[in-house]
Amino acid sequence: MPRRIQKAETVWTKWSASKLSATMACPLRGFYSYALRTPKPQNPLAALGQALHYMFQRFFTPHKKTGNYPYQEVEKLLGVWKGFWWRAIQGHHGFSSMSSDPVEVTWKDSDQQGKMFGSGINILKGFFETFHQLRLDGIPRFNERRFTFDWCGLQLTGVIDRLDITPQGAILLDYKGAPHSRHDLETGLQLTIYQLAYEAYLRRKIGDNQPLSEMQIYSYWRNDFQDAPLRTENDFGMLLYYLLEAHEYFRAILTGKPVYRDIVSCFRFFSEDDILTGDITPRLPRGSHCRFCQFFTECRQWELKEHPTPQALFAEHRQAKLDRLTPGQEPIPFGQQPIIEAGGDFVAKIRQLPFYRQGDLFGNVTRHE
């Protein structure tokens, strides 16, 4: 079957937690990262995080034939880490898996590569000590569980680091380098989307219909756990609010087509002026949200009015993808997907803050097997 180029509409209809968070933090960063997918060198800490996630996944993946877990001794785990890390450094593969493409990393110097390797040794020692015995309890575990499903006319996608299905309920575990702040623990978008993904999609698929009973953050730098409260209907209502705004903001600007006034009139987090001017503005003044941003040059170009319009950039990017079509690939027409008619039905509810009557949101799901 011919391979097809992804629809342009996915830029505003398909959302992950990282894409939504980046766009909420700074619309211009969200545009460059997820609409244009502008390649940038990887941050060293991000490379280390990807590599450790890969090792954590392997640690909790039993052998297909025997069902036994690998690395019964910590020395074997560290031996695999050594080979994986240095082969990634040498460009044999990326940092997310042995099958991923090599990536450029902004190393300060070669000493930093060795220091990161040593940090990985210490982290994996703590990880082994914490989780080795846990693997023997016979509880079903799912690692790096991907999901994609439709919710209120939008598509949500992501990867849950680990799900443990216990008789008392499912435990959702997310691996992080540093501990979560209180606001991330209680209202962070990532865990909100993950809980929604489990309850609306994964619960019946892999969870033996067990309810989600716990969400935890495992901080691998500290070898410590944090408990996160389960999200409420208010949190899911706020998530829908953010998604509707981000969807209409990108859709209206990048297509230049008429806006949906009932949504734009409710804007609280994005600039309605951007839609009128066809621009995407960075979140100014610059501050802590810029700490890890790799688009400072583009941000300055916008500030100095040397920035092409986002619509022109997006059209150029789209055309470049079509120009790279190889035989057997089919372009998908650039059209307008009608806005979330299901989501439009919720606009009236969204106006009525707080979002305390949205229990039916779980029913608006289409699963993607």
The segments of the chain whose pLDDT lies below 70 read 1-6, 324-369
Query: What pLDDT, on a 0 to 100 scale, did the predictor assign at position 306?
Result: 87
Which is it for strands 154-166 and 141-151: parallel, antiparallel or unpaired? antiparallel
Print the domain residue range for 320: 3-38+234-367
Contact 215, 162 (CB under 8 A): no
Domain boundary pick from 208, 232, 256: 232
Task: Examine the domain organization and report whether 75 and 169 are in the same domain.
Answer: no
What pTM value is reported for the model?
A: 0.86
Number of residues assigned to the chain? 369
Residues 171 and 200 in one domain: yes
Q: How many domains does the chain have?
A: 3
Query: Domain boundary residue among 137, 159, 183?
Result: 137
In whole angstroms, give the CA distance from residue 356 to residue 336.
32
Cα-Cα-Cα-Cα dihedral sign, residues 79, 85, 90, 94: positive
pLDDT for residue 103 = 94
Tell me whether strands 329-330 and 3-4 are parallel, antiparallel or unpaired: parallel
pLDDT of residue 264: 83
Co-location of 324 and 251 in the same domain: yes
248 plus 354 within the same structural domain: yes
| 222 and 163 together in one domain | yes
**Residues 151 and 164 reside in one and the same domain:** yes
Both tokens of residue 194?
Answer: 């993950």
Last residue of some domain: 209, 232, 255?
232
Q: Within this chain, do residues 123 and 211 fall inside the same structural domain, yes or no?
A: no
Answer whether 177's CB lies under 8 Å from 217's CB. no
pLDDT, tens only, 318-341: 888 777 665 555 554 444 444 344
Which 3-state string (H, E, C) describes 118-129? HHHHHHHHHHHH
pLDDT for res 333: 46
Q: What is the CATH number of the domain that holds 175?
A: 3.40.1350
222 and 238 in a single domain? The answer is no
The pLDDT value recorded for residue 211 is: 95
Q: How confident is the model at residue 334, as a pLDDT?
A: 44
Q: What was the pLDDT predicted at 355?
A: 40
pLDDT of residue 359: 40
Contacts of 329 (CB under 8 A, 6+ apart): 2, 3, 4, 5
The pLDDT of residue 318? 82
Calpha distance 345→52 (Å, rounded): 43
Q: How many whole angstroms separate alpha carbon 2 and alpha carbon 150?
A: 25
> How far is the C-alpha of 71 from the C-alpha of 81, rounded, in Å?
11
Q: What is the DSSP string of 142-154?
A: EEEEEEEEEETTE
User: Domain check: are 94 and 211 in the same one?
Assistant: no
